[in-house]
Amino acid sequence: MSKDDYNVYQGDDGQWRGKRQGASRASVTSSTQQGAFEQTRDLAQKRGSEVSIHRGDNGQIRAKHSYGNDPESTKG
């Protein structure tokens, strides 16, 4: 992950957060995972970065969405 990539995760207080890699605090907070993802997605699209969505129960990554940093597409 680059420093411009984002993570969506659930905090200890139950709130969902969108945070840029290496940042000290969240850029986005929401009561729902969908709300946090939508707001974080907008930030990632502006930077051409990636969003990793983490599960609320164990913190593992369940999905990744890339906006502009994909390698060149290959034939096949």
Tokens of 26: 């969240």
- pTM, to two decimals: 0.85
- The per-residue pLDDT for 17 is 98
CB-based contacts of 73, cutoff 8 Å, min separation 6? none
pLDDT at 76 over 60: no
pLDDT band at 75 (very low <50, low <70, confident <90, very high): low
Domain boundary assignment for the chain: 6-65
pLDDT in tens, 3-36: 789 999 999 999 999 999 999 999 999 999 999 9
Strands 28-30, 16-20: pairing is antiparallel
The residue that leads in pLDDT, 71 or 63, is: 63
- The per-residue pLDDT for 3 is 76
